[in-house]
Structure 1
Amino acid sequence: MDQSARGWISGLAGVAIFSGSLPATRVAVMQFDPVFLTVARAAIAGLLALGLLFAFKEKRPTRDDFISLVIVSMGVVVGFPLLTALALQHVTSAHSIVFIGLLPLATAMFGVIRGGERPKPLFWLFSALGSAVVAGFAAFQGLAASPVGDGLMLAAIIVCGLGYAEGAQLSRRLGGWQVISWALVLSLPVMIALAIVSMPPTFSGIEAPAWIGLAYVSLFSMLIGFFFWYRGLALGGIAAVSQLQLLQPFFGLALAATLLHEPVTTTMLVVTIAVILCVAGARKFAKSSSSPGRDEKGHADVCTTRIP
């Protein structure tokens, strides 16, 4: 199996795991404060990541990696979880899931800015079409009904796209699971302190579904999912593999309907199918002039050997 195929398979596994994030967050935020949920999930995942780094005796990142790790931390450890948790106080997870269709475009754009990738012009056409479908859906639903929720989701998409692209670049040097682990550890002292400060006075009224939601976003959404996702982006290319995120609304809507019994309208399904068709078109034209892991002359880049 070639490098690109391994990247797509790993990326798809990451997308499948992330698909449960918004439904799990929706369940958890019904009983946990959004700020506490954000810092608690990061603190739990950070402690687990610290244990992994010690267990495998991973060497510390260099000073040159520090800024990138800060960007990853602010984007996917703090920014996206907090903004989505706040948004889900105003909109349903089924509504918010469709905004995930904007992530591929955001990630691809930051991949160009931060990673130097150069997809073909038709790639941007299909990516823009997918984004337009999502934006049209939001307008059709009525942005005036919850401008705060939709605004928070759009902000979450931007910071997450930056965190994905930056982490993918760094994964080529450090490895996929190492990047998210170091980003979590970097923010761990602050997250633990904020978790203590924002902790509810009592947990006696918290029911099992909320605890399960917290466990899922801490273990899978915040840690395990990134093992697969960053590896996929690094191997298959940021712009190309990021288009798999357009499948996430489909998985997420199924979970929202099955687990949360939230209404999934015909419009939502049509939008989901439309963005899936867009990913097929974008994937065809996503290949950069130079493949990830190779230099301009086609020689293998030794940094890719760091990816587990």
Structure 2
Amino acid sequence: MRVLSNQAAGMLLGLLGVTIFGATLPMTRLALEGFGPLFITLARAVIAAAAAGTALLLLRRPFPRAHLPTLAGVGICAVFGFPIFSSIALQTIPASHGGIVLGILPLLTSVCAAIVDGERPGPLFWLCGVAGAALVIAFSLRESGFHLGAGDFWLLLAAMSASLSYVFSAKLARVMPGWEVIGWAVVICLPATLVGTILAAGSGIHTPGPVQYGALLYLGLMSMFGGFIFWNAGLALGGIARVAQVQLFQTFVTLAISALVLGEAIGPETLGFALAVAFVVWLGRKAKIGRAAPAAGRA
């Protein structure tokens, strides 16, 4: 029986994570029909912390005190940054439009990996990253009448937050299981998110029904916890910059779910763009990615 290489396993795990993340914007759009953006941000974190804390307690996992600063970075970006920025954005733009704008995530993640983690992708990799970003921008121009507005600004901030959280998470996932990384991140943020949820409940809960509660549960259990289990493990195995290219598929997962769940119209050109993106991802996998040499005198 053939065993998958680390790179192939990383890409597969990353794809599973991307599929889960692809439903985040549509689920946020649904949740906004019954809750305010601040309440969604805080409540989903509390839900994730409840699930993660239970798992960490049952498995008696020791608290990784030495990694507290990096875990705090994950928490700031993943628990607060991305959710609040994307929730604000989706008050004014469709989820499908948001999915297209977030197509720049792979390129941003690669940039963050180069700055924070010392990865050094070669020219071909950067060419593929820019080509992939150009494809999703071209797609938005053709399909969604893309124009830069306030929603796009908030989505750019959301993308930057997500990219940093991925890089911080991947660094930690090399020394601890990926699920523990996001698990501890949401748990250490629990005091702030729990108090915030209680304070925001008065103005943040409107007239939610079963669908809105279900969307909120998905955001907490899957988008903020379950998806990161696969994603962090994939980044650690296959390399941050390389596996980040799989995020190019997230745009099309979001479009498909937006069409099925929200009834947003998706044109036939999607298939052609999806095939082009698939080729870019495949080509990016062939590119060489090195690491910066350690500074003299540093271990």
In the alignment, the residues of structure 2 paired with residue 7 and residue 165 of structure 1 have an alpha-carbon distance, to the nearest angstrom, of 14
The count of residues paired between Structure 1 and Structure 2 equals 289
- Picking from 130, 134, 137, the partner of 1:135 is 137
Amino acid at match of 1:289: G
Q: Counterpart of 1:210?
A: 212
Q: Counterpart of 2:221?
A: 219
In the alignment, the residues of structure 2 paired with residue 186 and residue 114 of structure 1 have an alpha-carbon distance, to the nearest angstrom, of 22
- Picking from 4, 28, 31, the partner of 2:7 is 4
1:193 aligns with 2:195: yes
Equivalent residues of 2:18, 2:246 under 8 A apart: yes
Amino acid at match of 1:172: R
**Residue 139 to residue 258, structure 1, CA distance change in 2 (3 Å):** closer
The TM-score normalised by the length of structure 2 is: 0.90
Equivalent residues of 2:178, 2:229 under 8 A apart: yes
Q: Counterpart of 2:109?
A: 107
Matched position secondary structure for 1:30: coil
> Residue by residue, what CA displacement relative to the aligned partner does 1:198-257 show, whole Å, maximum 9, x if unpaired?
104696831111111101111111101100000000001101111111111112111111
Equivalent residues of 1:71, 1:166 under 8 A apart: yes
Amino acid at match of 2:46: A
Equivalent residues of 2:179, 2:228 under 8 A apart: yes
Q: Counterpart of 1:23?
A: 26
Once the two structures are TM-superposed, the CA of residue 142 in structure 1 deviates from its matched residue by 4.8
In the alignment, the residues of structure 1 paired with residue 129 and residue 79 of structure 2 have an alpha-carbon distance, to the nearest angstrom, of 25
Indicate the larger mover: 51-60 or 229-238.
51-60
Matched position secondary structure for 1:118: strand
Q: Counterpart of 1:43?
A: 46
Equivalent residues of 1:98, 1:272 under 8 A apart: no
Equivalent residues of 2:34, 2:206 under 8 A apart: no
Q: Counterpart of 1:70?
A: 72
In the alignment, the residues of structure 2 paired with residue 255 and residue 156 of structure 1 have an alpha-carbon distance, to the nearest angstrom, of 20
**Residue 137 to residue 155, structure 1, CA distance change in 2 (3 Å):** farther
Equivalent residues of 1:249, 1:272 under 8 A apart: no
Matches within 5 A, 1:222-261: 222-261=224-263
In the alignment, the residues of structure 1 paired with residue 257 and residue 157 of structure 2 have an alpha-carbon distance, to the nearest angstrom, of 24
Stretches of structure 2 that go unaligned for 5 or more consecutive residues are 295-299
Matched position secondary structure for 2:263: coil
1:118 aligns with 2:88: no
In the alignment, the residues of structure 2 paired with residue 19 and residue 139 of structure 1 have an alpha-carbon distance, to the nearest angstrom, of 20
> Residue by residue, what CA displacement relative to the aligned partner does 1:267-287 show, whole Å, maximum 9, x if unpaired?
5555444333322222221x4
In the alignment, the residues of structure 1 paired with residue 206 and residue 241 of structure 2 have an alpha-carbon distance, to the nearest angstrom, of 46
Q: Counterpart of 2:150?
A: 148
1:289 aligns with 2:290: yes
**Residue 147 to residue 202, structure 1, CA distance change in 2 (3 Å):** closer
The TM-score normalised by the length of structure 1 is: 0.88
Stretches of structure 1 that go unaligned for 5 or more consecutive residues are 297-308
Amino acid at match of 1:288: I
In the alignment, the residues of structure 1 paired with residue 141 and residue 12 of structure 2 have an alpha-carbon distance, to the nearest angstrom, of 34
Amino acid at match of 1:54: L
The percentage of counterpart residues that share the same residue type is 38
Q: Give the root-mean-square deviation of aligned CA atoms.
A: 2.1
Once the two structures are TM-superposed, the CA of residue 6 in structure 1 deviates from its matched residue by 1.8
